[in-house]
């Protein structure tokens, strides 16, 4: 394993859900305050901050709530991969010698219902939206349908993924959806984007998540249980990759950006998939989790049918995936979602997860994927 | 009512045998939807307009259950009259995979690999009162009908 230069010393979360009358910035503030307390660091000790949000234009305005200390505070947004990006930037400030202690925070507060925008913001022509094609959910259905067809995976396996998410949500006090659903109930829910059904999808919601980082050689000043950032990567899609909102694709297919982000992350960390104890994957929908299992190197294409049937992705299995219920049980405030993954990994690696604890977890892995075809991977370890 | 394409340079129209229009660069790369220029080895190049094959096979498909958010959606339907539709990628031989609405609204009647053909179908109405036309793909042999 590589020698770490950056440590995670504190994490905080404003639970994801719906909070009438509370702003995204206020939820981000709560998350940062919890992360600072967890790290034993005062806000005045923080030397730089990175923030991400889809709905808040200047999420770095969170300084107005935390205290206007004059530090460099910047916002970055890379869609669903934003959490990985702000974490990497907060780490890089430490590597560059610009700061000893930094904060990464994400926050969002989405309106109810499907995301809606003008096609031009995605580089697409007006007619694409007029004709009813400008919907990211089509991608999830189209990719899942083809993947299930190519690799002999049943619709029940999709339902097993969603059922696991709700069971893990039940064991997670801060999860949004805590009512376990059976495979039968999920299979009885309406088809939204065939083969994906209503209960196989995550929903946009609200929340915040934050991480406090410091120089690895100073981590023990703050905590007895520091975590080390072993890898953080981000890749955009290359020509031929089947990504969201593609009016056409070349016949010569290329792997998803997730494949490149994953391979590069394992290389950075000097680790392989079999070294990972607890896994967080982008489960925008149950099909995404199944596909991401293979794209991240945790199984071969098609093995998911057996792995899910055998319970291997459960908390007690060999590949515990989305131990807090993932996006399906927590929803997705886009700017915060990636740091929720890191929050869960940190709590797992520090043995704080109670009835959803993965025993003896030492290495955690988190993957993000979203529009316009961006994947990020973070690996942390004890 | 005059029938007009929903956008220029999308498909040949009016035509007895319409085809989708792509751009082709000097290195043979096809670009759909057509645009005038593309970077080829660092130089902006004018693309040649070419017609894409009219037949292909269904690569994947999915369903759209709810009326898409409007705008941008501009279908002639409203929340009450909206009919769920299907979307797919059709693999056009030696060309591209094209994302399109499919004329068959019932996903049970679609299967990956089935033969599909291009249709130009009525969609909505533009600001001048013309009937807008979009492209769609239909299972080969299906009766001629609108985009769902």
pLDDT-based confidence at residue A328 (cuts at 50, 70, 90): very high
Nearest to A289 by CA among A187, A202, A170: A202
Same domain for A308 and A190: yes
Same domain for A153 and A263: yes
The answer to whether the beta carbons of residues A119 and A85 sit under 8 Å apart is no
> B83-117 in b/e burial notation, b at 16+ Cβ within 10 A?
eebbbbbbbbeebbbbbbbbbbbebeebebeeebb
Dig out the tokens for A376 from the structure.
Answer: 């990020």
A123 within some domain: no
**Do A149 and B60 make contact, defined as CB atoms within 8 angstroms?**
yes
In terms of DSSP bridges, do strands A363-370 and A374-381 run parallel, antiparallel, or are they unpaired?
Answer: antiparallel
A291 within some domain: yes
Taking 70 as the threshold, does the pLDDT of residue B147 lie above it?
no
Q: Is B68 on the interface with A (CB under 8 A)?
A: yes
Residues of chain A with C-beta less than 8 angstroms from the C-beta of B124 = 130
Quick one: closest CA in B to A193, which residue? B63
Same domain for A80 and A39: yes
More confident residue, A112 or A60: A60
The pLDDT of residue A244: 94
The pLDDT of residue A41: 98
Dig out the tokens for A48 from the structure.
Answer: 């730089």
The pLDDT of residue A32: 98
| Alpha carbon separation from A320 to A105, A262, A293, A348, A380 (Å, rounded) | 26, 17, 11, 11, 15
DSSP at A321: B
Rg (CA), chain B: 16
Distance CA A55, CA A51 (A): 12
A119 within some domain: no
Q: Is B109 on the interface with A (CB under 8 A)?
A: no
Distance CA A86, CA A199 (A): 30
Q: Which among B7, B71, B95 has the least Cβ separation from residue A127?
A: B7
A304 within some domain: yes
The pLDDT of residue A117: 79
Same domain for A83 and A170: no
Same domain for A310 and A249: yes
Interface test with A, best of B79, B87, B90 (most A CBs within 10 A): B87
Q: Quick one: average pLDDT of A225-254? A: 96
Same domain for A144 and A21: no
* B91 to chain A, closest Cα gap in Å: 8
Q: Is A142 on the interface with B (CB under 8 A)?
A: yes
The region of weakest confidence among A88-97, A98-107, A278-287, B67-76 is: B67-76
**Do B71 and A118 make contact, defined as CB atoms within 8 angstroms?**
yes
**Do B98 and A247 make contact, defined as CB atoms within 8 angstroms?**
yes
The pLDDT of residue B141: 84
The pLDDT tens digits for B53-80 are 999 999 999 999 999 999 999 999 998 9
Same domain for A246 and A215: no
Q: Quick one: average pLDDT of B98-103? A: 98
Distance CA B110, CA B115 (A): 10
Residues of chain A with C-beta less than 8 angstroms from the C-beta of B97 = 248-251
Q: Is B66 on the interface with A (CB under 8 A)?
A: yes
pLDDT-based confidence at residue B143 (cuts at 50, 70, 90): confident
The pLDDT tens digits for A135-193 are 999 999 999 999 999 999 999 999 999 999 999 999 999 999 999 999 999 999 999 99
Taking 80 as the threshold, does the pLDDT of residue A1 lie above it?
no
A116 within some domain: no
A1 within some domain: no
Same domain for A35 and A165: no
For the question of an ipTM over 0.85, the answer is yes
Dig out the tokens for A166 from the structure.
Answer: 């709700």
Same domain for A12 and A45: yes
Same domain for A85 and A161: no
Residue A7, helix vs strand vs coil: strand
The pLDDT tens digits for B19-53 are 999 999 999 999 999 999 999 889 999 999 999 99
Distance CA B37, CA B9 (A): 13
Same domain for A171 and A74: no
The pLDDT of residue B1: 77
Nearest to A349 by CA among A11, A105, A1, A5: A11
Q: Which domain holds residue A211?
A: 6-111+206-226
For chain B, what is the mean pLDDT? 94
Distance CA A251, CA A65 (A): 51
Number of domains in chain A: 2
The pLDDT tens digits for A199-218 are 999 999 999 999 999 999 99
Q: Is A246 on the interface with B (CB under 8 A)?
A: yes
A19 within some domain: yes
- Quote the longest CA-to-CA distance of chain B: 51
Distance CA A214, CA A5 (A): 9
**Do B6 and A191 make contact, defined as CB atoms within 8 angstroms?**
no
The pLDDT of residue B146: 52
Beta strands in chain B (DSSP E): 3-5, 21-24, 30-31, 37-40, 43-46, 48-51, 55-64, 85-91, 96-102, 115-125, 131-139
The pLDDT of residue A365: 98
In terms of DSSP bridges, do strands A191-193 and A6-17 run parallel, antiparallel, or are they unpaired?
Answer: unpaired
Among A226, A259, A285, which residue terminates a domain?
A: A226
A370 within some domain: yes
Q: Is A251 on the interface with B (CB under 8 A)?
A: yes
Among A168, A193, A226, which residue terminates a domain?
A: A226
Dig out the tokens for A169 from the structure.
Answer: 């949500």
The pLDDT of residue A113: 75
Percent of chain A with pLDDT over 90: 96
Taking 90 as the threshold, does the pLDDT of residue A4 lie above it?
no
Q: CATH code at A82? A: 3.40.47.10
Taking 60 as the threshold, does the pLDDT of residue A3 lie above it?
yes
The pLDDT tens digits for A282-324 are 999 999 999 999 999 999 999 999 999 999 999 999 999 999 9
The pLDDT of residue A272: 98
**Do B107 and A194 make contact, defined as CB atoms within 8 angstroms?**
yes
The verdict on whether omega for the bond into residue A123 sits within 30 degrees of 0, i.e. cis, is no
The pLDDT of residue A2: 67
Same domain for A98 and A35: yes
More confident residue, A28 or B141: A28
The pLDDT tens digits for A241-262 are 999 999 999 999 999 999 999 9
């Amino acid at each position: 394993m590589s020698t770490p230069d950056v440590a995670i010393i504190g994490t905080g979360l404003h639970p994801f859900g719906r909070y009438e009358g509370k702003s995204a910035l206020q939820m981000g503030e709560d998350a940062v305050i919890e992360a600072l307390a967890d790290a034993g660091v005062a806000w005045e000790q923080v030397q730089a901050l990175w923030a991400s949000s889809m709905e808040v234009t200047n999420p770095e305005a969170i300084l107005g709530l935390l205290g206007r200390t004059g530090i460099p505070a910047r916002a970055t947004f890379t869609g669903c991969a934003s959490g990985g990006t702000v974490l990497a930037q907060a780490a890089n400030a430490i590597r560059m010698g610009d700061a000893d202690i930094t904060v990464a925070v994400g926050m969002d507060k989405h309106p109810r219902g499907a995301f809606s925008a003008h096609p031009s913001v995605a580089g697409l022509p007006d007619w694409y939206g007029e004709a009813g094609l400008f919907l990211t959910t089509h991608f999830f259905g189209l990719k899942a349908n083809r993947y299930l067809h190519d690799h002999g995976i049943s619709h029940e396996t999709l339902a097993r993924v969603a059922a696991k998410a709700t069971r893990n949500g039940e064991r997670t006090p801060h999860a949004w959806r805590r009512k376990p659903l059976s495979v039968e109930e999920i299979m009885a829910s309406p088809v939204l984007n065939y083969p994906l059904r209503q209960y196989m999808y995550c929903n946009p919601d609200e929340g915040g998540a934050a991480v406090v980082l410091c120089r690895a050689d100073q981590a023990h000043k703050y905590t007895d249980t520091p975590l080390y950032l072993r890898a953080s990567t981000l890749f955009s899609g290359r020509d031929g990759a089947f990504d969201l909102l593609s009016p056409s694709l070349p016949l010569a297919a290329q792997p998803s950006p997730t494949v490149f982000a994953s391979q590069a992350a394992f290389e950075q960390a000097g680790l392989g998939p079999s070294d990972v104890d607890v896994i967080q994957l982008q489960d925008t929908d149950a099909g995404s989790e199944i596909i991401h299992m293979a794209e991240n190197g945790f199984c071969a294409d098609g093995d998911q049918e057996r792995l899910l049937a055998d319970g291997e992705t459960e908390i007690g299995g060999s590949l515990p995936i989305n131990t807090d219920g993932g996006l399906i049980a927590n929803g997705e405030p886009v700017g915060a979602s990636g740091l929720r993954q890191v929050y869960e990994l940190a709590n797992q690696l520090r043995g704080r997860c109670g009835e959803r604890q993965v025993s003896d977890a030492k290495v955690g892995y988190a993957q993000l994927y979203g529009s316009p075809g961006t994947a990020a991977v973070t690996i942390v370890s004890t | 009512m005059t029938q007009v394409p929903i956008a220029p340079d999308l498909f040949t129209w009016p035509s007895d045998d319409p085809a989708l229009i792509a751009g082709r660069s000097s290195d043979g790369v096809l670009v759909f939807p057509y645009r005038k220029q593309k970077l080829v080895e660092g130089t902006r190049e004018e693309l040649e307009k070419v017609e894409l094959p009219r037949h292909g096979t269904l690569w994947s498909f999915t369903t759209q259950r709810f009326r898409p958010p409007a705008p941008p959606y501009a279908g002639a339907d409203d929340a009450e009259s909206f009919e769920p539709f299907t979307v797919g990628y059709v693999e056009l031989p030696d060309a591209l995979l094209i994302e399109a609405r499919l004329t068959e609204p019932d996903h049970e009647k679609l299967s990956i690999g089935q033969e599909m053909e291009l249709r130009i179908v009525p969609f909505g109405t533009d600001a001048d009162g013309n009937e807008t036309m979009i492209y769609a793909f239909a299972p080969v042999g299906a009766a001629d009908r609108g985009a769902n």
